[in-house]
Amino acid sequence: MQKRKLGQGLEVSALSLGAMGYGKARTIPDRPEMIDLLRQAVDLGMDFFDTAEVYGPWTNEEMLGEAFAGMRDKVKIATKFGWDIDQTTGEHRGGVNSRPAQIRSAVEGSLKRLRTDYIDLFYQHRVDPDVPMEDVAGVVKDLIAEGKVRYFGLSEAGAQSIRRAHSVQPVAALQSEYSLWTREPEAEIIPTLEELGIGLVPFSPLGKGFLTGKIDARTTFSENDFRGQIPRFTSEARAANQALVDLIRAIGERHAATPAQVALAWLLAKKPWIVPLFGTRKLARLEENLGALSLTLADDDLRQIETGAAAIRIEGARYPDAILQRSGL
């Protein structure tokens, strides 16, 4: 498995597997199957896995803890704090909470659920406007000194927040949405990360499945599929955005690769410190995505993608307005 270095020397597999899709509820009906898939990912060479206390809350971390029992030395686990979760009952009260006491309670809970003595990468899930970034970074710095955390990360933070946190405790990675159809980080975030030596872990690198080429304007979503609420996934938006999938499919045909592999390979080609984070519930999709590591896009391929993408206007917001406002995005 190819390796990449994020910031502060954190070395991980070149692709990361996110467990969010395996369960964000208090019960996970197919938990044994998802645990098996996580273990199969390790067998395939992956060592970088992502979860969060808010997924459930708590049940997702517990699942990873069981999955990786007895193989802690083979994996690097990233988890997140920062939502207002009652640390006794697990009730998600809504809103953010990165007060120092909350962070300390969160890390103790995550360590217990993950069945580990340390967390490899501890992200602030969302910036808390009521708590100075310097205070957040200071608490994580102390946790690193205590050996409970190894590296500090941020998620969906702006450039100013990144700089303020980094000045107290060097940040290893930023997790933010970045893909061929979500390119806002290129304006300010990526230059900031490059300047400061911070790695990027892009989530939704396949556009929540759209860039796989397996979704089109005729696709219907189940009632519990969140994509049905996203403006970018209306049938009209999907019809307009199909041009982007057609572009990467044409590139893929040149290399006997799938659109998903091209989308991931494009991200991997952007910077050597980018480690895409994808989710899948199927072994075949896991293997397909890992195939992106064997795909090297030529300069002509990259130029064609850039030129073609520049001519395509992506329709629809990436989240509903209410979520954007609540998360500060």
Residue 29 has pLDDT above 70, yes or no: yes
User: Average pLDDT of 249-259?
Assistant: 98
User: Average pLDDT of 135-163?
Assistant: 98
Residue 5: the pLDDT is 98
Residue 323 has pLDDT above 70, yes or no: no
Residue 326: the pLDDT is 55
Residue 22: the pLDDT is 86
| Residues, the chain | 329
Residue 325: the pLDDT is 61
pLDDT in tens, 35-87: 999 999 999 999 999 999 999 999 999 999 999 999 999 999 999 999 999 99
What is the pTM assigned to this prediction?
A: 0.96
Q: Please state, for a pLDDT cut of 90, what percent of the chain lies above it.
A: 92
Residue 224 has pLDDT above 90, yes or no: no
Give me the residue spans of the domains in the chain.
Answer: 3-327
Residue 329 has pLDDT above 90, yes or no: no
- CATH class label, 3-327: alpha beta
Q: How high does pLDDT run on average in the chain?
A: 95
Query: How far apart are alpha carbons 21 and 278 in whole angstroms?
Result: 10
Contact by Cβ (8 Å): 228, 234: no
21 pLDDT band, cuts 50/70/90, is: confident
182 pLDDT band, cuts 50/70/90, is: very high
User: Average pLDDT of 140-165?
Assistant: 98
Compare 28 and 96 and report the one with higher pLDDT.
Answer: 96
324 pLDDT band, cuts 50/70/90, is: low
Report, as residue numbers or ranges, the catalytic residues. Answer: 55
